[in-house]
Structure 1
């Protein structure tokens, strides 16, 4: 899925153009008893968001509504109006489906009907059932469904037993959803959905700590010093960062563990490799020529060209940059370990690869991949895209939380309700919105009943790289986005587990929400200017609650 969770501030011009400081579309909508619109946080926008996927065709598991305090109470009142009126961005073309067969009955299992034969039969029946479009949106792409037959082939099996089917060409997201529905209608199919593309969302002695306002400010920041007085983290607590991979930055190296790449597509990986133990980030830049080439693999995969983001390296720096080493910045969890899991590359990644990466990070075996010897207790997902929570995502989240792993997700940077954004709208995750230095909701931050809490997401300083395409030298840079708010929450969750390793994901969420701070804004301030969720993360209160 596409919507970026990460936006560069004061950076290279190409990234500056990508700042997601957009006013919410809800600002123009009538609101129910909130006295204002949805986009009156900070930093008005300079550009539109990148394209986003359409909802999956399957029926998602309902997401329970968090406690309606603070801006969530307003968001609940607005939900019906906003969800009816706002329109999701357009989704890039789709070239794969995810199809899971039903479990065989004992009688059929005894008949030795293997899954390969069953799947072949399902493909044949479903393609006969489906009526291919001959005009409209599909014709927007180089290989149109109306001009060439769809050549469905089984490509691989993912960690929940579902098959990833290659369509042999790209088709419009609406057409892919219709094709998935044709598969889902088969009596042998448990569920079927498009394999949606996903994209990034953007008191130590360290010399740059003074610029890390979001860690030290006790009002608009997360007030880390009281938490650090209790714990600075533990090397036994591993946080997995599912992202673009990492650069071996000097301020990160001490806390990095050997990771793994789950990218299945060589064009996405951008390093000539597919799945394997190399989780380093080769760069994810994309040029206008690549975006405009209708016969190329990157056609229309983003709304505009961009330099390499080094997104994973930035997210990891917020969580665990080495502190008190006389250099650079301080991470939230100084002594915790970071497990890089590469699932995003050039033009993003796929739901199926991310689901496999989540299970592997939690210590769940994935076929064809060596077992993870150092399972994570926290998974950071600074990524996402538009759509209802897919079955593939929800099953992966259910599996890892059942293992006691806390999943922290960026709420998204569209300035809209998270009801349109997955996996932030999935059941069992901690969804994180963004605030600015005044404590207001950042204008780009998504909001709504699905958001758990907020953390600073404007002018966040972290580890980066000087390369605009391929890697250059270590550096530090400022960026905006719910992508940068999310690792602050992940880092604090890791600190809480350092104090009490028996905490469950539900307990961590409850204690994080219970300690949040509300913002003291002027009377009459619009609901949607308030921090999304229960309030702003308070690290000291969260750690004290488990001490």
Structure 2
């Protein structure tokens, strides 16, 4: 070989050897940063010679992040690919925030945000548990599915009426993806309702499987219990100290959520569900101690039919609805915003639980634009003690409660579960049970969100052309008004979230969304009416600002099923909040504008009428914050369960008050009784 030919290949070989062999430098405090990086389309690193290596998740990838880190003077490992040009980068000796700040400075990088750990938030059918139960502490079987009347609590969601229409609406033909802990696939109320799913958990110790683990086509819930040895194993595999606590029993959270979305009805066993003819696509992204944002986002993309690293098999049927009963305390990152926008453009409806943070702010991803965020109410309609709240909430639904003056745990959410304390028990050995049995309660906003996801499936069966914005509008417009009295535990009106907790309180449309879910009213409107949709578009900012015009657009509104075109628009200001003046604005055009003079909120109404003469309205609050958060690709408050200054674990916000801890003491359950394993999200 000539010297000239050596000169051509030797630098590339040298770089390859350096990347393959570079040792990790362990910092004294053991920090190990994790970051989600998106590269620009013309990134030079994409054109460079790369080395094929084994990633942390076990698949062979190009070593783009190591090369990127080397350019910034860092030793960086490649994690999973999340999507096109979106990768996970990891480095020891740096916090996630610090690693993001360094990588964001590279000219090839579009954004770099911390990868956080998220936690769980948790005709009458002939199914015997729908109308009655054996456990005297559960007041009325599946009370939450019924039509509110003298025999059903005020907060019941009226799903039952949709099932018995002249043309029943039960979710037929619609697939709902459930991003969660997986599902017990042999449960008789679910066994015929599941499409083949996937496991997105990148780490064997988190998934509870033998090494090397990695993504697969098995969505089975293997249990999320964890002892100290298990935590130590996770720490070792993740090269950090995980913010995680011992959990003595498994939650079977995904199985519970699946049962509320789409458990089979009229099969003579168990209970019913909101959408008993919808199919469920189980996606396991949460395991022991939680689940990473990057794995959750990968699960979202795969469920929508987009290619994902490590799972070559596409879903049998792409999801029209995605349910995420999980989250963590955080602002919505650019990575989440991008995935949500990508899926919304594909007409995928995304629903997430608001969180169980005792009246503090809404969690991520529920606080992301384009997500239908669901808060929790008690059976009488007041905010349940543990539910988070805030202006991001779209509407509320029953979240179960053990908050009663008698001390009894009443009106919990009856659904499917497993009898195993730690590891699953097969159906053949009696493992398939329901949450009224063995004191396995199901309470939390985790179980409010799947009611809304099931309702979205019914709307999409009723009218398949509905967009995510139209589904949200229908659910909000036809929600029932919150009560203002009648709850002996409520202590006045709910107020905007702050650093102070607030427990039972009377919801307002600025704290708990538009109202309480009414499934049949929304289905009826979908079958017959136009849909009014308001899009808020600040001129140049991502968020409305004082003294800057706010554009209100009705172009995404939809005509009725018998309409051909929209004939008129009518706007009005219902509450000026003391910050807008409506004089002189355009009241009858597809787009109008108002200019707020100060921070605060104002409420507008849009009425649309199509050429069939049918009309629809929608009310919407527009919020003008005191200060607009700076969008910076180098930082993110991240999400979830732990302070990821040192650990960066996604706080899989265990947004449930699960049976194992929720009512062992026969006393009023406080939100602190959640099974979440780290600090509250």
TMscore range, shorter length: 0.7 to 0.9
SS, match of residue 106 in structure 2: coil
Equivalent residue for 2:90?
166
Equivalent residue for 2:466?
503
Equivalent residue for 1:284?
224
- Residue from 321, 324, 328 that aligns with 1:385: 328
Distance 1:350 1:536 in 2: 31
Distance 1:338 1:192 in 2: 33
Equivalent residue for 2:268?
326
- Residue from 85, 88, 102 that aligns with 1:182: 102
Conserved? CA contact 2:37–2:86, under 8 Å: yes
Equivalent residue for 2:506?
530
Conserved? CA contact 2:274–2:451, under 8 Å: yes
Distance 1:225 1:535 in 2: 19
Q: Structure 1 residue 164: deviation in Å?
A: 1.1
Distance 1:436 1:493 in 2: 22
Distance 1:93 1:250 in 2: 45
Distance 2:266 2:254 in 1: 22
Quickly say closer, same or farther: Cα 1:220–1:118, change in 2 above 3 A: closer
Equivalent residue for 1:447?
389
Conserved? CA contact 1:460–1:479, under 8 Å: yes
Does 2:483 align with 1:520? yes
Deviations 1:87-136 (A, max 9, x none): xxxxx97552222222217xx69x943576874443124346xxxxxxxx
Distance 1:530 1:182 in 2: 46
Distance 1:290 1:362 in 2: 33
Q: Structure 1 residue 232: deviation in Å?
A: 4.0
Does 2:157 align with 1:222? yes
Q: Structure 1 residue 296: deviation in Å?
A: 4.4
Deviations 1:300-346 (A, max 9, x none): 43244241111100000001111111111001111111111111111
Q: Structure 1 residue 297: deviation in Å?
A: 5.2
Q: Structure 1 residue 416: deviation in Å?
A: 3.7
Structure with greater helix share of residues:
1
Distance 2:472 2:84 in 1: 26
Quickly say closer, same or farther: Cα 1:293–1:254, change in 2 above 3 A: closer
Equivalent residue for 1:126?
72
- Residue from 433, 436, 441 that aligns with 1:475: 433
Alpha-carbon RMSD:
2.4
Does 2:240 align with 1:264? no
Conserved? CA contact 2:63–2:78, under 8 Å: no
SS, match of residue 158 in structure 1: strand
Distance 1:112 1:98 in 2: 20
1:53-92 paired onto structure 2 within 5 Å: none
Does 2:132 align with 1:212? no
**Structure 2 runs not aligned, ≥5 long:** 1-29, 51-61, 132-140, 149-153, 401-411, 426-430, 436-440, 496-504, 528-681
Q: Structure 1 residue 295: deviation in Å?
A: 5.5
Does 2:301 align with 1:364? no
Equivalent residue for 1:156?
80
Conserved? CA contact 1:378–1:406, under 8 Å: yes
Aligned pair count reads 426
TM-score by length of 2: 0.59
Quickly say closer, same or farther: Cα 1:127–1:440, change in 2 above 3 A: farther
> Bigger radius of gyration, 1 or 2?
2
Conserved? CA contact 1:389–1:426, under 8 Å: yes
SS, match of residue 379 in structure 1: strand
Quickly say closer, same or farther: Cα 1:416–1:127, change in 2 above 3 A: farther
Equivalent residue for 2:318?
375
- Single out whichever of 157-166 and 351-360 deviates more from structure 2: 157-166
Distance 2:130 2:416 in 1: 12
Equivalent residue for 2:180?
243
Equivalent residue for 1:62?
none
Conserved? CA contact 2:81–2:308, under 8 Å: no
Distance 1:279 1:518 in 2: 38
Deviations 1:518-540 (A, max 9, x none): 22223993234234111110011
- Single out whichever of 209-218 and 421-430 deviates more from structure 2: 209-218
Equivalent residue for 1:465?
418
SS, match of residue 358 in structure 2: coil
Q: Structure 1 residue 160: deviation in Å?
A: 3.4
Equivalent residue for 1:192?
112
**Structure 1 runs not aligned, ≥5 long:** 1-91, 129-150
